[in-house]
Amino acid sequence: MTRVAVIGAGLAGLVLARRLRDRADVTVVEKSRSLGGRMATRRYGRYQFDHGAQYFRARTEAFRAFVGPLIKQGVVAPWPARVVDVADGKVLGEVAEEAEAPPLVALPGMNGLGRHLAAGLRLKWQRPVARVVHNRRCWRLLDEDDAVVTEADWVVVTAPAPQAHRLLPEDFAGRGAVGAIGMSACFALMLGLRRKPLLDWQAARIRGSEIRWIAVDSSKPGRPAACSLVVHGTSDWSKAHMDEKPEQIESVMIEAASEVTGDRLGEAEICRLHRWRYARADTRTGPASFVDPDRRLAACGDWCVDGRVEAAFTSAMDLAASLEKIL
Ligand SMILES: Cc1cc2nc3c(=O)[nH]c(=O)nc-3n(C[C@H](O)[C@H](O)[C@H](O)COP(=O)(O)OP(=O)(O)OC[C@H]3O[C@@H](n4cnc5c(N)ncnc54)[C@H](O)[C@@H]3O)c2cc1C
């Protein structure tokens, strides 16, 4: 069987690996200790936070067909959130819901979907790939110390575009196009509160501030009861302050979020910051995945389509359709 190494255990990598596992010998290599990539969840004591993707929608038939059984199995559930628009500290009104594609979340946290999809796959985790080199017979994935992580006939890179560009060998046919895809930054502040603020909404989209989003994460289905808020910085502000000290970032975000909630959030029991250097990609009109049959290299991920969970699925399925004709 052809050996395929998939770099990245986010949604794209896991969906692709599952699609190919009957026709190829697939190994998924992941750098971090959790699964699901930017569909990420952290637990601090009694508080739980989805600090990456907040929710997702299923707008295409293909993604709906994928999500439907997951809802039946209790891996995914709707999040009936009241979302409001806020500008200059004032609530402007409720965001109209998309009846056809309600907000969905994974259970018991966003990374629950990654964990579910990884079951039964061959996985090497906590193994960051530093380089992909060819040794005449096959590809070798090497770590920082040049130790071999795995060998394969085909390599698929599903890391965010700037990281994928660094990993893809120079002669990969789509390398130039991948290198041209930018991704925006995002600070995620996680606040665990002893007392729940009196809010008549579960999430707020914010304008005219350093922050653009607050979610009462503990209002999602299947979460622990302890009140957890997730606050996201705007992409411009996050990018401009990416390398500043956490205390400075936290105090600006806490002040901005306190103005929206009307509560003194500085008294939070838990306060943790996460820096997403590569959070979201803009909508693209190019191919939904990249494949170079001569070099036996490929790449996919949300950034091939746009910056959403559904895009990661669409890109992985597009690549799976191409590879199924070749493998
Ligand atoms: C703050 C934030 C908020 C978001 N909000 C939403 C939202 O509300 N709705 C929505 O639909 N989408 C949202 N998104 C986007 C959504 O999370 C992504 O579209 C989706 O999760 C991307 O999946 P992916 O598999 O393409 O990439 P990823 O999830 O990034 O997976 C790539 C994987 O590759 C691994 N990797 C990278 N480099 C290496 C290496 N060298 N070696 C080994 N492994 C490596 C990474 O650790 C990661 O696990 C948000 C993202 C962020 C960051």
User: Which of the four pLDDT bands, split at 50, 70 and 90, describes residue 16?
Assistant: very high
In a domain, 120, yes or no: no
Query: What number is the average pLDDT over the span 284-288?
Result: 91
Q: Are 264 and 254 in contact (CB under 8 A)?
A: no
User: In angstroms, what is the span from residue 88 Cα to ligand 1's centroid?
Assistant: 30
Amino acid at 41: T
- Tell me which residue range forms the domain holding 219: 40-109+183-281
- pLDDT given for residue 307 in this prediction: 94
Quote the CA–CA distance of 190 and 237 in Å, as a whole number. Answer: 17
**Contact assessment for residue 41 and residue 20, using Cβ atoms and an 8 Å cutoff:** no
103 Cβ inside 6 Å of ligand 1? no
300 lines ligand 1 (CB under 6 A): no
- The pLDDT value recorded for residue 136 is 86
What's the mean pLDDT when you consider all of the chain?
97
Residue 158 has pLDDT above 90, yes or no: yes
Q: Are residues 203 and 87 in the same domain?
A: yes
213 and 261 inside one domain: yes
Query: Do residues 274 and 190 make contact, with C-beta atoms less than 8 angstroms apart?
Result: yes
CB 320 within 8 A of CB 19: yes
Cα 143–Cα 18–Cα 104 angle in degrees, nearest 5: 100
pTM of the predicted model as reported, rounded to 2 decimal places:
0.98
| Residue 231 Cβ < 6 Å to ligand 1 | no
Residue at a domain's end among 246, 261, 281 = 281
Average of pLDDT values for 3-11?
Answer: 98
Ligand 1, atom nearest to 130 Cα: 41
Question: What residues contact 6, with CB distance under 8 A and at least 6 apart?
Answer: 13, 16, 17, 26, 27, 28, 29, 156, 158
Task: Give the residue-averaged pLDDT of 24-36.
Answer: 97
Q: How far is the CA of 37 from the centre of ligand 1 (A)?
A: 5
CB of 4 closer than 8 Å to CB of 25: yes
Provide the sign of the torsion angle of the four alpha carbons 152, 157, 158, 163, taken in this order: positive
Find the helix packing angle between 11-20 and 309-326, rounded to 10°: 30
Ligand 1 pocket: which of 18, 30, 38, 133 to mutate (most atoms within 8 A of CB) = 38
- Name the pLDDT band for 91 (thresholds 50, 70, 90): very high
Confidence (pLDDT) at 173: 93
Q: Same structural domain for residues 104 and 189?
A: yes
CATH of the domain at 73: 3.90.660.10
d(C-alpha 210, C-alpha 219), whole Å: 24
Q: Are residues 160 and 80 in the same domain?
A: no
> Are 96 and 195 in the same domain?
yes
Give residue 283's pLDDT band: very low, low, confident or very high (50, 70, 90): confident
| The pLDDT of residue 244 | 97
Whether 96 and 190 map to the same domain: the answer is: yes
Q: State yes or no: pLDDT of 251 exceeds 90.
A: yes
pLDDT at residue 89 tops 90: no
Residue 56 CB less than 6 A away from ligand 1: yes
| Residue 320 placed within a domain | yes
- Are residues 159 and 171 part of one domain? yes
Assess whether 83 and 171 both reside in one domain.
Answer: no
Residue 116 lies in a domain: no
225-242 per-position pLDDT tens digit: 999 999 999 999 999 999
User: Residue 88: is its pLDDT beyond 90?
Assistant: no
In the chain, the number of structural domains is: 2
Q: Is 188 in the pocket of ligand 1 (CB under 6 A)?
A: yes
User: Do 167 and 81 share a structural domain?
Assistant: no
Atom 31 in ligand 1: residue holding the nearest Cα: 10
Q: Which of 276, 297, 9, 326 minimizes the C-alpha distance to 165?
A: 297
For residue 279, how far is its CA from the centre of ligand 1 (angstroms)? 7
Please indicate, yes or no, if residue 63 is contained in any of the structural domains: yes
- pLDDT the model gives residue 238: 98
In short, whether 302's Cβ falls inside 6 Å of ligand 1 is yes
Predicted confidence at residue 116, as pLDDT, reads: 98
Percentage of residues in the chain having pLDDT higher than 90: 94
In the predicted model, what is the mean pLDDT of residues 290-302? 97
Report d(CA 174, CA 176) in Å as an integer: 6
In whole angstroms, give the CA distance from residue 324 to residue 199.
50
Q: Report whether residue 54 contacts ligand 1, using a CB cutoff of 6 Å.
A: yes
Strands 290-292 and 270-281: unpaired
In a domain, 133, yes or no: yes
Tens-digit pLDDT profile for residues 170-229: 999 999 999 999 999 999 999 999 999 999 999 999 999 999 999 999 999 999 999 999
- Is 119 inside any structural domain? no
d(CA 179, CA 169): 12
Single out the residue in 248, 266, 281 at which a domain terminates: 281
The reply to whether ligand 1 has any atom less than 6 angstroms from the CB of 307 is: yes
Instruction: Specify the ligand 1 atom closest to the Cα of 127.
Output: 43
Model pLDDT, residue 289: 98
Residues 63 and 137 in one domain: no
Q: Is 310 helix (H, G, I), strand (E, B) or coil?
A: helix
- Distance (Å, whole) CA 240 – CA 184: 11
- Report residue 140's pLDDT band, with 50, 70 and 90 as the boundaries: very high
> The domain that contains 174 carries what CATH number?
3.50.50.60
For ligand 1, atom 51, the nearest C-alpha belongs to 53
Across 54-76, average pLDDT? 98
Same domain flag for 131 and 257: no
